[in-house]
Amino acid sequence: MTTMDDVARLAGVSTSTVSHVLNGTRKVNAETRLRVEEAIEQTGYRRNVVARALAAGRTNTVGLSISALTNPYFGSLVHAVERALSDAGYVLIVGDSHDEAESEKRVVDSLLGRKVDGMIVAPAAGSERASLPEIARAGTPLVLIDRGADIESDQVGPENESSAKALTDHLLDIGHTRVGVVRGLAGISSTTERFDGYVAALSDRGIDLDASLIVDGESNTEAAERGVYALMSSADRPTALVSMNNAMTIGTLKAIRRLGLSIPGDVAFVCYDDFEWSDLFEPKLTAAAQDVETIGATAVELLLRRIQGDDGAAQHIRVPTTFHHRNSCGCA
Amino acid sequence: MTTMDDVARLAGVSTSTVSHVLNGTRKVNAETRLRVEEAIEQTGYRRNVVARALAAGRTNTVGLSISALTNPYFGSLVHAVERALSDAGYVLIVGDSHDEAESEKRVVDSLLGRKVDGMIVAPAAGSERASLPEIARAGTPLVLIDRGADIESDQVGPENESSAKALTDHLLDIGHTRVGVVRGLAGISSTTERFDGYVAALSDRGIDLDASLIVDGESNTEAAERGVYALMSSADRPTALVSMNNAMTIGTLKAIRRLGLSIPGDVAFVCYDDFEWSDLFEPKLTAAAQDVETIGATAVELLLRRIQGDDGAAQHIRVPTTFHHRNSCGCA
DNA sequence: CTGAAAGCGCTAACAT
DNA sequence: ATGTTAGCGCTTTCAG
C-alpha cells in the first residue's frame, strides 16, 4: 500500500508538504505542488483516513442510532441525513437500535469508540438513563431526532400533538363521537404527544376518554392488527379510527380487511404518516404526512453547528406535517 | 479523555497488559486482570477504535454501497446486512450511490480510504469500469449484491430470469397473448435477466416479441407511470402486464388508476417484488417475492470468509423467489 | 516556502 | 506472567 512517504520521496519533498497540498493547509509553491500532485497520480495514492483521524483528532464521521431500518419512514430519514452529511464532507455510520435501550447502548458505545465527531439518535424508550448520559460524558455533540427526551440537547422532530389533534378533530367535525385510537410504542415521546393530541380533540368537545377505545400497537404491525381486530369485533365498536404511525396503519388495515369491514362505510379512518402508495390504496387514505427531508436536513445542520463549536442553548425544532385530505375519512 | 495509559497506571501494570486483558490475547493472572478491570470501570475507559485500527491494520468495519436507501427493498437489505455483520462484531458503513457510476465511485473511494475490511456493493450501471477495479486494486475483499457484474468476485442476488419467466408464464397460461412488460433501470443485470425471462416465456409459446409492448421505467416511479399511461391509452393495448420491480409496480398502478382501468378486469397484472401491503391492496397482487434476509446474510457470510483469507473460486449465488398467487392476475 | 520531528492511542513482536 | 518498545500513517508545531 502506498503511503505519504512514498509520495514524498517520489516528489522529492517532505511528508509535511504532501500533507499540506492534500489539505490545502498552507501555501505551497505552484511548481512543488504540481510535482506532488503528479506523484500522487502516479502512485495512485489514497490517504489513510484512519491514520489521519488519529493524528488530527477528528474523524469526519457522524453516528446515527435509529430503530428499525426496515420501516420505510426511517429508511427515508437515514437517506435524508446521509445526503445532508455527505454534502458537508461527512460520512455516516448507522446502527440499528431495534428500539431497545440496551441494544441502543451497544450501538452508541461502538459509535463513541469509533470517535464519531457527532451523533444523531432516535432515542428508544429509556435511553435517558442508558446511552444518552454516556454521549454527554464523552462530550460528543448530539442531536435527537424523531423523538424527544428530557435532556439538554438539540432535538428535531415532527409536529405531533397538533397534527394528531387535527386528524381527530376532522373525524369529530364530520359527526363521529366514538373514535378509536391505535397508538404506537409506549414510552417514546411521539407516542405520548400524538395521544395527547387525540385526547385534546376529545376534551375540546367535552367527550370523555374511553379506555376501551384505545389500542396499544406496541412497535409492530401484528400487535396493532390483533388489537384492532378485537376492538372492531366488539358490539359497540367505534365508528371511526385514528392510527398514529405507519406500522399501526398497516396493522389496522389488515384487521379491518380481515373482518370484512369497509372504509369509510363501516368505519372512517385517518392516519398519521403517509405512504408512497397512499393514493393507490382504495379508499385513498386521509393522512398527516411528515416532512422527512426537512427533519433530516435540520438535524444535520444543528449537529454540524455544534461540531464547529457552537454552544448556544439547546434548540427544539418541530417540523410541521401536511394534512392530505383524501377519502378514507368518508366526508367526500 | 482517558487512554490506556491512564488505566495502566491506575492498575499498576503496563499498557501491554491492559491491551491483552481487553482483547483476551494472552493469559493474564486472574488477580491482575481484576485490577485492570477495576481500573477500566473506575476511569470509564473506552478503547479508541481508531488508534486500534491503525495499529492492528484492520478496522472491523465493512462498507456497503447501495442505491436508493429510500426504496424499501434496499432498506430491508441494509437491515439484513447490518444484522449479520453486527452478529459477527463488524460495523457497517453505508453509502448511497444513487445508481450512478460516478457517485458510486465517490462512495467507494471514501470507504476504501476508511480502510474497511471488506466491501459489499450493489453495482450501478457502468461500475465495472469505475469503482470495481479500484476495489480490486486496493485488494479489499468484495461481494456484489442484488446485481451482478462481469468481474471475478463473489456475487449474491435473487433468482431473476426464471422468476420473471414464471410470472409471464402465468399470464400466458391463463390465455393472455398480448402481455406488456415494465422493465427497470437499463444497464444493470437484474433488469436484463428479468427481461430475458419475459422473452423466454413468450418464445416458448412461439409469440413474437412486440417492441411496442415494452415500457422502460428507468429507475423511477414517474417514468414507469408515464410509460404505462401511454401504453395503456393506445388502441390495441395489452390485456396483461408484468412489472419487474417494486418502483415500477407503483408507477404502473398509478397509471392504471389514472386511466380508470380496473385490475384484473381491464388488465391482468403480476409483479416481481412483494410489498408489505400487497395483500392489503385491492386486488391483492400476484407477485414474486425476494428473500432479502437470505440475500443479506449470504453476502455477509461470503465476505467474512474472504476477510478471513479464503481465496477459493468466486461464487455466484442465486436466492430463489417465492411466488405468491393472489388475485391481480384474475384467475381466481 | 519547506522540513524535521514529536506525537495521536493502540497492538504485537521481542524481552525478561 | 508481564513489561519494553517499535511502529501503524498521518497532522502540526516549531525551526529555518
Distance, CA of A308 to CA of B8 (rounded, Å)? 33
User: Cell digits for B284?
Assistant: 391483492
Burial class (CB in 10 A: 0-12, 13-18, 19+), B265: exposed
In order along its 332 residues, chain B shows pLDDT tens digits of 899 999 999 999 999 999 999 999 999 999 999 999 999 999 999 999 999 999 999 999 999 999 877 788 888 899 899 999 989 989 999 888 989 999 999 999 999 999 999 999 999 999 999 999 999 999 999 999 999 999 999 999 999 999 999 999 999 999 999 999 999 999 999 999 999 999 999 999 999 999 999 999 987 899 999 999 999 999 999 999 999 999 999 999 999 999 999 999 999 999 999 988 887 888 899 999 999 999 999 999 999 999 999 999 999 999 999 999 999 999 87
Q: Is the CB of A39 under 7 A from strand D?
A: no
Q: Which residue blocks in A237-323 are alpha helix, DSSP H?
A: 246-258, 292-307
The distance of A66 to chain B (nearest Cα, Å) reads 11
Residue nearest to nucleotide C6 (CA to C1'): A55
Question: For B169-216, what is each residue's pLDDT tens digit?
Answer: 999 999 999 999 999 999 999 999 999 999 999 999 999 999 999 999
Q: Which domains does chain A have, with CATH numbers?
A: 4-47 (1.10.260.40), 59-158+292-319 (3.40.50.2300), 160-291 (3.40.50.2300)
Distance, CA of A81 to CA of B110 (rounded, Å)? 17
Q: Check residue A313 and give its pLDDT.
A: 97
Contact A321, A108 (CB under 8 A): no
Interface of B with A in 66-125 (CB under 8 A): 68-72, 74-76, 78-79, 82-83, 86, 91-96, 109-110, 112-115
Q: Check residue A332 and give its pLDDT.
A: 73
C1' (C13) to CA (A329) span, angstroms: 73
* A-interface mutation test, from B114, B131, B259, most A Cβ less than 10 A away: B114
User: Rounded to two decimals, what is the model's pTM?
Assistant: 0.91
Contact A244, A184 (CB under 8 A): yes
In 3-state terms chain A splits into helix, strand, coil percentages (rounded to 5) of: 45, 15, 40
C1' (D6) to CA (B55) span, angstroms: 11
CB contact under 8 A, B46 and A113: yes
Q: Check residue B277 and give its pLDDT.
A: 83
Query: Does an H or E element contain A52, and which?
Result: helix A49-56
C1' (D2) to CA (B24) span, angstroms: 14
Q: B212 phi and psi, to 5 degrees?
A: -75, -10
Question: For A285-317, what is each residue's pLDDT tens digit?
Answer: 999 999 999 999 999 999 999 999 999 999 999
Q: What angle do CA A213, A215, A221 make, to 5 degrees?
A: 150
Contact B146, B206 (CB under 8 A): no
Q: Check residue A68 and give its pLDDT.
A: 77
The predicted model gives A23-51 an average pLDDT of 96
Residue entry with cell 410470472: B167
Please name the nucleotide lying closest to B6, CA to C1'. Answer: C9
